[in-house]
A and B are shown apart, each in its own frame.
Chain A
Amino acid sequence: MFKKILIANRGEIACRVIKSAQKMGIKTVAIYSEADKHALHVAMADEAVLIGPPPANESYIVIDKVMDAIRQTGAEAVHPGYGFLSENKLFAEALAREGVAFIGPPVGAIESMGDKITSKKIAQEAGVATVPGHMGLIADAEEAVKISREIGYPVMLKASAGGGGKGMRIAWNDEEAREGFQSSKNEAASSFGDDRIFIEKFITQPRHIEIQVLADAHGNAIYLGERECSIQRRNQKVIEEAPSPFLDEKTRKKMGNQAVALAQAVGYTSAGTVEFIVDGDRNFYFLEMNTRLQVEHPVTELITGVDLVEQMIRVANGEELAIRQKDVKLNGWAVESRLYAEDPYRNFLPSIGRLSRYRPPQEVADATHVVRNDTGVFEGGEISMYYDPMIAKLCTWAPDRAAAIEEMRVALDSFEVEGIGHNLPFLSAVMDHEKFTSGNMTTAFIEEEFPDGFDGVELPEDMLRRVAASAAAMYRVAEIRRTRVSGRMDNHERKVGTDWVVSLQGQEFPVVIDADPMGATVTFKDGKSHRVSSDWVPGQSLAKLDVDGMLVVIKVGKIPGGFRMRLRGADMKVFVRTPRQAELARLMPEKMPPDTSNLLLCPMPGLIVSVAVEVGDEVQEGQALCTVEAMKMENILRAEKKTVVAKINTAAGASLAVDDVIMEFE
């Protein structure tokens, strides 16, 4: 076995690889850029080599620098992780020249699968289903109909030069194919000056399902089930699971066999992934093969018990696979949520800065549940602008899908991240979405279900009541503590009452609390009551409560006169008041948030580099208004609509905070 390996990557995947190497007794070498001096992967590795300035193209993906680090440390093998140099043929070749093992597939496989057209051709030859289509020129509408019939409806007619949906038509029958051909052609001609059209099968209700394969250099290849990755935002996977709720055993086997056939056709070794698009009738078509470890590999590990990184290292060391296809059993269900430093309330704008608080949920692994968090950051660390905004992969496992999802809900609620914007609330929202819980999703899920972006979640009544009961019980504890302050008048202390009104999410719940040493029974006006018990004490930012036997985890913060409570994607102001206080609070006017539609607000803390317009200028939708530099990155702010600049409140060189007004419009 190798004595020392180098991990040519950073962040969570570098940490992930180091963990497996450590388990196998292999020494590890980390490489890092100047921005990653204090990164977790550097601290975890046995050795670390600085390889250059922060931008990846000056450090992590400079082959010469990585090769220097290998020579310097005497590493015998390199794990490339994902991204960076993981599918770079030149890197694999450079390693081969120096006799350093590449923990990945052979150069030939990287090359042939790296090209869309070649890979499709090889796949076809290996008997793998590909999206039917006609790439040649089509003379007229009648030929279009003929081809469409051959492919089978529905079909998509696309402009060769197309993009952005222009010159694109979907046809469900001959008539539509005929018409679609003509209109696509016209549109293509006027939009692109190129009226060539091609036709391919239109995949309805598409899902992204991929097969994990594992092969050795001795001719053995197996598949480790599939992963469903349909929950994507702009082609970026957000939530994955294994197995897929959609596949049946027959389809799984068919897909698995084809994936293995493809791997064998290209002489594949190591771990790889064959991606398929699957339609509503479980027809599947090859998309591409990823010749590396995938980000979402943990879900496969959780349901198969196979450590993929370990297998990759063993295969690279020339060992024969110890697992045969018949040994592969899919056990239970695993879900992965990708935690991104992207603010869902600001249209998923990347967020950078200091992690003033970072407390992932407790990792557990037992027979009934697993919580696993693959991460490369730590509390007090910095999220920089230079790299991928993914900061953690939170995985849960349980014997069945519903239980795994419930584990995930609680794990997300228990995950504390402060200091930067992040997508935890959005992930929670998906976990509670009916289309997701029923397993009935397609790759268009986010686009269709959140067409206007994400604006937080409104809790359903039953959950709202649990939160109200919890808040009342918690508030009572906090109020009793307040009465224990020193300097009070003996015998005239404040008595904390039992009747409260909880107001949250625009609703009021009058409740009566009956507390005892074990917890509190909170009774609502309709006579129904909730039993709340918890060891929460004031000041704790995470409240774990047992409400009628259900675990409810709430992030608790202070706001004037109440609590800020976050759970299940909701972010609420919660007030607990005596009935009299509540009566008086009702007299308070509702204050509308100021109308900001006529303002350009600074979206992030930064420096104004330049202002592109002047007072009185008429600006068009999309026109650049000014440039804000944040963490050395220039962001151009554009007009959202046609308007006139009424006032400019800042000038180049000014440093602004989030939501500072840059300019006002008429």
Chain B
Amino acid sequence: MKDILQQLESRREEARLGGGERRINVQHSKGKLTARERIELLLDEDSFEEFDMFVSHRCTDFGMEKQKPAGDGVITGWGTINGRMVYVYSQDFTVFGGSLSETHAQKICKIMDMAVQNGAPVIGLNDSGGARIQEGVASLAGYAEVFQRNIMASGVVPQISVIMGPCAGGAVYSPAMTDFIFMVKDSSYMFVTGPDVVKTVTNEIVTAEELGGAITHTKKSSVADGAFDNDVEALSEVRRLVDFLPLNNRSKVPVRPFFDDPDRVDASLDTLVPENPNSPYDMKELIAKLADEGDFYEIQEEFAKNILTGFIRLEGSTVGVVANQPMVLAGCLDIDSSRKAARFVRFCDAFEIPILTLVDVPGFLPGTSQEFGGVIKHGAKLLFAYGEATVPKVTLITRKAYGGAYDVMSSKHLRGDFNYAWPTAEIAVMGAKGATEIIHRADLGDAEKIAQHTADYEDRFANPFVAAERGFIDEVIQPSRSRKRICRAFASLRNKKQQNPWKKHGNIPL
């Protein structure tokens, strides 16, 4: 018996070494951790339970049968993050460059099937050179099997991808279909075709970092939701995100003990909106002052900064926040901000995360680049997402809510549950100046008359009361008491049940 146990231990030892000491050193020298080290950092201490440690590939071409390392380049299993279950796979770059073989894919598929069955998130740590070329189509089939499972798991369990090395070609499509992608600065990149192919085909000269590095994907392409300085920071922040997320689409959002009075009054909010309606202010300050302990986990911080998306907690329980940011492009809606917010709203709705919307929007960004880019359909995405969402929806208009953008931003008409406004709110078809110039076109030459008309329009519409008179605004609230009012609103919605008519699925304007 003892011998048998010893044999097990030595086989395990061998498997744990992955591609061996030398390759591990190379991995470290690149500032990257190994697949197992990453799992250690991601999960609670000693909580990892591994599957398929001894799986090896079945390829016999090109001399592959001579090297059959245990595990086949990916480590899979489950463990806990602060005691809550997650499934995880971590690609091992030290074994065949983390390349994906048929068996490698099967290992991933196994834990994904279990995750869906058992209702726990899947976290993929990607560090792979791509398909195992020696296996040919078997490897491609492996990818597709993973893709199909990503699709089936979407909206059932949260899926998070962390790109911690190369991720190119077909490999990018698995992360692309997960809920969140995070990247590690300087050591990860993602692209469909690499710099060499780009050069051959289009004559463009571009580095891997420029083409698909963390900065590119967080600032320009919006493929990634966040970027971190190194592996350690990335994994610790993924843990922080998981603390916000429900385990699956049937479980409630997590609640944890909190140290912030739901009734906290913040007098400084009474002066947040500047006197001059054209002066910006930082919407992040409002989010921080509404949230428990000022804690805001921002998603896509670097992209479309005119809208803010992310998670906070109210009374310990997760709430998704969408907020116009007057500091950037006056907080207008445009193609990028609509896409960004729409995707976030749909994630929240899929996982029963209540949504808080903070509105200060002067309208949609005008211009040919917007219209040629299809702002109509992109703007409609956000409208659609809000309208189909059945989660608790609380909206607070702090200042401007003009035109169609008013409708889009979780208005009463899109089944908003609580639609609050600050006394500084202006709910109108457009700004007073623009409105006056249309209504009183005949007086355009007379500056004095126009000024008078503008003042009249402001008196009539630059306030929340016209909307409140019609019940489009449920209540005009004092800014300093917003936290209390919003907390109570969500508290009252804890048992909200709302169902959309049966359909196979809607046809969101993709």
A residues whose Cβ falls under 8 Å from a Cβ of B: 37-38, 354-357, 378-382, 481-489, 492-495, 497, 537-541, 558, 560-561, 578, 580-581, 584-585, 587-589, 591
Contacts and interface: CB of A to CB of B under 8 A. Distances in A.
Interface string B253-268: 0111111100000011
Contact of B83 (A379, A485, A539, A578): A485
Contact of B271 (A357, A380, A492): A380
B82 interface: yes
B285 A356 contact: yes
A382 B28 CA distance: 49
A485 B236 CA distance: 17
A588 B231 contact: yes
Contact of A485 (B231, B243, B294): B243
A468 to B, nearest CB: 19
A484 B257 contact: yes
Contact of B47 (A492, A497, A538, A539): A492
B192 interface: no
A580 B48 CA distance: 15
21 contacts: A356-B285, A380-B269, A380-B270, A380-B272, A382-B271, A487-B246, A493-B83, A494-B45, A494-B47, A494-B80, A494-B83, A539-B293, A539-B294, A560-B237, A561-B233, A561-B237, A581-B41, A584-B33, A588-B230, A588-B231, A591-B230
B37 interface: yes
Contacts of B186: 591
Name the interface size band of chain B.
Answer: 35 or more
Contacts of A381: 271
Contacts of B67: none
Given A380-B267, A484-B257, A485-B254, A584 B40 contact: yes
Given A488-B84, A539-B294, A591 B271 contact: no
B225 interface: no
B145 interface: no
A582 B270 CA distance: 44
Given A381-B271, A584-B40, A578 B47 contact: no
A262 B124 CA distance: 82
Given A354-B281, A578-B45, A584-B37, A485 B82 contact: yes
Nearest to A419: B285
Contacts of A587: 28, 31, 33
A443 to B, nearest CB: 39
Nearest to A588: B230
B414 interface: no
B293 A494 contact: no
Given A558-B295, A561-B237, A585-B232, A481 B257 contact: yes
Given A380-B269, A494-B45, A588 B232 contact: yes
Interface string B58-87: 000000000000000000000010111100
A135 B509 CA distance: 87
B44 interface: yes
B45 A482 contact: no
A547 B357 CA distance: 43
B359 interface: no
Contacts of A488: 80, 82-84
B185 to A, nearest CB: 8
Contacts of A37: 275
Q: Which 6 A-B pairs have the closest CB atoms?
A: A539-B293, A380-B268, A488-B83, A589-B31, A537-B259, A485-B256
A481 B292 contact: no
Contact of B232 (A380, A482, A485, A584): A584
B259 A538 contact: yes
B148 interface: no
Given A494-B45, A497-B45, A588-B230, A561 B236 contact: yes
Given A539-B295, A587-B33, A482 B271 contact: no
B293 A538 contact: yes
Contacts of A38: 271
Q: Which of A357, A488, A489, A558 has the most C-beta atoms of chain B within 10 angstroms of its own C-beta? A: A488
A638 to B, nearest CB: 28
B247 interface: yes
Given A381-B271, A485-B243, A589-B31, A539 B260 contact: yes
Contacts of A580: 40, 45
A21 B291 CA distance: 41
B84 A485 contact: yes
B251 interface: yes
B40 A492 contact: no
B184 to A, nearest CB: 10
